[in-house]
Amino acid sequence: MDPVISVRDLWKVFGPKASQVAASDELKALSRQELMDRTGAVAAVRGVDFEVAPGEMFVVMGLSGSGKSTLVRCLTRLVEPTSGTVVFEGENILAADAKRLRDLRRNKFSMVFQHFGLLPHRTVADNVGYGLEIRGVPRAKRAERSQEVIDLVGLSGYEKSYPDQLSGGMQQRVGLARALAGDPDVLFFDEPFSALDPLIRRDMQSEVIRLHREVGKTMVFITHDLSEALKLGDRILIMRDGQVVQVGTGDELVGAPADDYVRDFVKDVPRANVLTLKWIMRPPREDDVLDGPELAPETVVREAVRSVLGAGKPVKVVRDGELLGVVADEEILEVVAGEA
Interface pick for another protein out of 81, 182, 250, 255 (rule CB under 8 A) = 182
> Which of residues 4 and 104 has its CB atom nearest to another protein in the complex?
104
CB-wise, 12 or 271, nearer to another protein? 12
Least distance from another protein to the Cβ atom of residue 228, Å? 19
Name which of residues 96 to 125 contact another protein (CB under 8 A).
101-107, 109-111, 113-122
Amino acid, single-letter form, for residue 33: Q
Q: Among residues 181 and 232, whose Cβ is nearest to another protein?
A: 181
Cβ proximity of 276 and 248 under 8 Å = no
State yes or no: residue 250 binds another protein (CB under 8 A). no
| Selected range binding another protein among 55-63, 128-136, 153-161, 297-305, rule: CB under 8 A | 128-136
In the region spanning residues 186 to 245, those forming contacts with another protein, defined by CB under 8 A, are 188
Q: Is 130 in the site for another protein (CB under 8 A)?
A: yes
Task: Tell me if 24 sits within 8 A of 39, measured CB to CB.
Answer: no
How far is Cα 333 from Cα 325, in angstroms, rounded to an integer? Answer: 17
Single-letter code of the amino acid located at 258: A
The smaller minimum CB distance to another protein, of residues 105 and 240, is found at 105
Alpha helical stretches, state H, the chain: 18-23, 25-28, 32-39, 68-75, 98-107, 124-128, 130-135, 139-152, 168-181, 198-215, 226-232, 250-255, 260-266, 271-274, 277-280, 301-311, 329-336
Nearer to another protein, 106 or 282 (CB): 106
With beta carbons less than 8 A apart as the criterion, state whether 230 and 236 touch.
yes
What is the nearest approach in angstroms of another protein to the Cβ of residue 102? 4
Strands 186-190 and 42-52: unpaired
Burial-class residue 186 by CB neighbours within 10 Å (0-12, 13-18, 19+).
buried
Nearer to another protein, 93 or 244 (CB): 93
Contact 10, 81 (CB under 8 A): yes
- Under the binding rule (CB under 8 A), the answer on residue 133 touching another protein is yes
Q: Choose which of 32, 68, 145, 178 interacts with another protein (CB under 8 A).
A: 178
Residue 76 in contact with another protein, rule: CB under 8 A: yes
What are the residues binding another protein (CB under 8 A)?
A: 73, 76, 78, 101-107, 109-111, 113-122, 130-131, 133-135, 175, 178, 182, 188
